[in-house]
Amino acid sequence: MDLTLSIKGLRIKAKKLDNNFYEFIKEDLEKSGVDINRDNSIEALFTAYLRLAAKTHDYDREIESIINEIES
């Protein structure tokens, strides 16, 4: 599926996303206040980015902790 966002009047399209990934991104964007059906602010997009970056950071720390437990 294609995902199109409008940010301050600029339309940005990501083409050929896997359906599961598309749904994940759409849901996460909505939780951050980004609406794929309307124009969005830069702040909303930045908030969405920070939300995913925080998840990634937490997952990385959790993976490191699991690896350390396995190695000890």
Under a CB-based contact definition with an 8 Å cutoff, are residues 4 and 17 in contact? Answer: no
Residue 42 CB-half CA count within 13 A: 2
Six-digit token string for 12: 């940005």
pTM above 0.85, yes or no: no
46 pLDDT tier (thresholds 50, 70, 90): very high
Q: Is the dihedral of CA 7, 9, 13, 19 positive or negative?
A: positive
Percent of the chain with pLDDT over 70: 100
- For residue 7, give the nearest of 67, 33, 64 by alpha carbon: 33
Task: Return the residue matching tokens 């969005």.
Answer: 40
CA angle 32, 34, 37 (to 5 degrees): 150
